[in-house]
Structure 1
Amino acid sequence: MIAILLFLTSTIFAQTIKDISNVVGIRDNQLIGYGLVVGLAGTGDKSQFTMQSLQNLLRNSYIKIPTSSIKSKNIAAVMVTSKLPAFSRQGDKIKIKVSAIGDAKSIDHGQLLLTQLKGVDGNVYALAQGTIIADLNNLTTGFIYDGATIENEVDYDLKDESMITLSLKTSSAKHAFAIENKINKRFGKKLAIAEDTRTINVKKPKDMSMVKFLSIVQNIKLDDSFKKKIIIDINREMIIAGADITIDPVTISRDNFTIRVKKSPLSEEEWNDNAKNRGVDIGDDVKIGNKPIVNIDNALINTKSAPTVSDLMRAMKIMKLPITDIIETIKLIKDLGSIDAEVEIRGQ
């Protein structure tokens, strides 16, 4: 049972340049490695490659044993993935994700043995090790927070740069032109030029460091015409959305629930009378302000104005739906084009 399904906030996201763009050349790098998990209480796997990996490990310790004699189910072969953040330094800690690749039933509380994490260039950038905390919804995957230590760095040289290039996450001539104007207005001179619908080149003033300049540029606020953002944090089981992100009419039918989102043709008084006739509680638990928004009978969400993501999440919370269903529903509505907002998934 999830004690807190989600976190709701009515605060509207103040979009900034860094929310809708990246700085070219500054990015995370993907890391991957193959490792062994030990200490499982009979929930590991007996795949041939797992036994072979254990044999190789023991051989490195000068212990020779044929794979046919290894019958333990307390070990599991896993793939380890992570992200190497930009400007990471030796000794920094990063979170890793561990996923079983054999027929293990659970890797929860298993001990990941020392595992090399490599980049696409084949070089080792981090070493991972630690105790796994499995995902409650999928015991064959889990995380180790601060589970890897960075050993090698990716060089980024900003100090001597005289220009940065911004790349919009979504191509838009309107947004590129607006960002050009916002930056030029902020510094009182023509520093930014939109090269195309996605790329903006920005010159650094001579009397300012690149770090300070980048900080100012990335935190310039944008107006409400820019796309809003919904943040889903899987690890913390939180969903954060602005209060004014509307949902176009949509119907979603799944195995355990059906949701219909639409505008109500009824007045508030008519809606209340209709709800009372069906025995639906219209108290504070199913209201936002003075506006009735939920008909629990058929998972129907009715609003006098356009329904919002906040309305939907509150309704699903009242329905006591698990956080996984709420997350999948929001992602599905986004894929259907009924939400005009960026959905950011954290913790995957």
Structure 2
Amino acid sequence: MMWACLLAAFAFLGPQTAHAERVRDLGTYQGVRSNQLTGYGVVVGLAGTGDDNLEYLTQAMKGVSGRMGLQLPAGVAPGLKNAAAVMVTADLPAFAKPGQRLDITVSTIGKAKSLRGGTLIMTPLQGADGQIYAMAQGNLAVGGLGVSAKDGSMLTVNVPTVGRIADGASVERAVATGFENGDMIRYNLFNADFLTATRVRDAVNRFMPGTAAIEDGVTIAMKLPQDVNTRASVMAAIEMIEVTPAETAAKVIVNSRTGTVVINSAVRLSPAAISQGKLTVRVDENPTVSQPEPFSKGRTTTQQNSDITTTDEGGKVLLMKPGASLAKIVDALNLLGVGASDLVAILEALKQAGALKAEMVVI
């Protein structure tokens, strides 16, 4: 009765702040997650775009034919241009039950040129523990196209060596989540933060006093009722509680390959002066030809004339006041007219000077 009253009271709770986020967007319950499945299989029915006589494909085909009662001659490598060895991957959702269907992705592991028109032979999909959790089979849908000519020229559109089969696998075994056992459910944040964990704990305890306790910077343990129906209702209600997460740590992300720089809103500057300018030196060569007078003993010569000019662009100095925000930093750097490479150099210099209060991450 107490839990029913609390759930009814939750319906009248409104958002706490304009910038609050739901608990379900900050993390997830431990054990309530998907699991990755992987399998090794064979795709047949290809139009001459398979793996030919690769040893691992030959062994796989012998295994498949053996299950069908057909024994291939020993020491004979069959021509397998119409078959390809593949890896099959899938995600097993939380609470998936036997008989449910999964989408699968099929990718070549050899020299097959295309999987277009192929059919995946029944393939077991295993989890990290080596147990079989699903069986896959079906016709592939391939979005890519590859065409080759006898002179060696090729045309490839998208990726023809990867295909998908919608509902191509059936679940054979469920994964235990621990949802229905024990009186404690653990909620894990996506990002470790003690302040966010504290706010989630306090919000849950305001809704249901004495329910939540912090275990570390990621995990909040919650005491929930044993009845599965009530537990599911309480967990759903907790997910809809709105919490204001802690401000993210100050970071500057620099992509060294593309020159992209991303600065988050937590970045602040101590008092600093920034000057940026470019000195351009230009050398123009204007050679002139000197011709001797007619019937003289002189020779034609070339005289070198060089013009050197310098241009000093910029030269502006900007003073950043204490605690300058992201908007002020962007305005100042735009005023200087800096490019991506110059921006990285300025940020690195500010970091070295101790004026940039942020972590710089180069990817």
Q: How does the TM-score come out when normalised to structure 1?
A: 0.60
SS in 2 for 1:25: coil
CA contact 2:196–2:245 (8 Å) conserved in 1: no
Give 1:121's aligned residue: 129
- Separation (CA, whole Å) in 2 of partners of 1:13 and 1:132: 45
Q: Kindly provide the amino acid, as one letter, of the partner of residue 15 in structure 1.
A: E
- Separation (CA, whole Å) in 2 of partners of 1:78 and 1:105: 12
CA contact 1:15–1:226 (8 Å) conserved in 2: no
Task: Describe the shift of the 1:222–1:148 C-alpha distance in structure 2 as closer, same or farther (beyond 3 A).
Answer: same
Aligned counterparts, 1:192-211, within 5 A: 192-204=212-224, 209-211=230-232
Task: Describe the shift of the 1:186–1:32 C-alpha distance in structure 2 as closer, same or farther (beyond 3 A).
Answer: same
SS in 1 for 2:88: strand
Looking at CA atoms only, which structure, 1 or 2, has the larger radius of gyration? 2
Task: Describe the shift of the 1:38–1:304 C-alpha distance in structure 2 as closer, same or farther (beyond 3 A).
Answer: farther
Q: Kindly provide the amino acid, as one letter, of the partner of residue 178 in structure 1.
A: R
SS in 2 for 1:35: strand
User: Does residue 1:53 correspond to 2:60, yes or no?
Assistant: yes
User: Does residue 1:217 correspond to 2:264, yes or no?
Assistant: no
- Separation (CA, whole Å) in 2 of partners of 1:181 and 1:216: 15
Deviates more, 1:212-221 or 1:63-72: 63-72
Select the structure with the greater relative contact order (CA < 8 A; seq sep ≥ 6): 1
Q: Return the offset for 1:226.
A: 5.9
Q: Return the offset for 1:225.
A: 4.2
SS in 1 for 2:87: strand
Measured on the aligned residues, the alpha-carbon RMSD in Å equals 3.5
1:21 to 27, 32, 44: 27
Q: Return the offset for 1:28.
A: 2.0
Q: Return the offset for 1:40.
A: 1.2
Q: Kindly provide the amino acid, as one letter, of the partner of residue 125 in structure 2.
A: L
CA contact 1:247–1:338 (8 Å) conserved in 2: no
Q: Return the offset for 1:202.
A: 1.0
Task: Describe the shift of the 1:144–1:13 C-alpha distance in structure 2 as closer, same or farther (beyond 3 A).
Answer: farther
Q: How does the TM-score come out when normalised to structure 2?
A: 0.57
Q: Return the offset for 1:68.
A: 3.2
Name the structure where strand makes up a greater proportion of residues: 2
CA contact 1:129–1:147 (8 Å) conserved in 2: yes
- Separation (CA, whole Å) in 2 of partners of 1:170 and 1:260: 22
For 1:61-84, what per-residue CA distance to the aligned partner results, in whole angstroms no more than 9, with x for missing partners? 232333635113110011112122
Q: Which runs of 5+ in 2 are unaligned?
A: 1-17, 145-157, 264-326, 332-359
Task: Describe the shift of the 1:106–1:202 C-alpha distance in structure 2 as closer, same or farther (beyond 3 A).
Answer: same
Q: Return the offset for 1:96.
A: 1.3
Task: Describe the shift of the 1:41–1:108 C-alpha distance in structure 2 as closer, same or farther (beyond 3 A).
Answer: same
